[in-house]
Amino acid sequence: MQRNTAVIVVEVTLEDPPDSYSSHIISKVNASLSYARNMEVPEETPLSVPGITVVLIQDMQVQSGWYSVGIPATDIFRNYTITVKPHNGFNVSRPFKINTRVLDPAGKDVSVKLTEHKVSE
């Protein structure tokens, strides 16, 4: 029997920045609590370039592996969903931060954003 595991579903919105600075393309980062079968969510995913990569941070400690999703070379402005399996020490009832990075095809940071979140059980 598979046990359900708490996961954080991260929604990242990339938008064409009004100031034309590519470092501002991350417009929104939202998080929600969900559940998945334990074996359906890996401990982390391979780095995707170009792509979006996220990691959870709580109490100044990394609380997840790095999770990544690829983005197309063109027409990148849309919503992306990344499912993250927190480490065992992660407390879903406490605030946490998400470090979101957008990487170009060479693997260099285009945009980095640190956002604070709280989800309800």
51 alpha-carbon distance from chain centroid: 11
Compute the half-sphere exposure of residue 62: CA atoms within 13 Å on the CB side of its CA. Answer: 10
What backbone torsions phi and psi does residue 40 show, to the nearest 5 degrees? -80, -20
**Domain extent for 92:** 4-117
CB distance 15 to 77 below 8 Å: yes
DSSP state of 2: P
pLDDT greater than 60 at residue 53:
yes
CB atoms within 10 A of CB 101: 20
pTM of the model: 0.91
Residue 38, helix vs strand vs coil: helix
CATH number, position 32: 2.60.40
Number of domains in the chain: 1
**pLDDT reported for residue 4:** 85
| Average pLDDT for 59-79 | 94
User: Model confidence at 1, in pLDDT bands (50, 70, 90)?
Assistant: very low
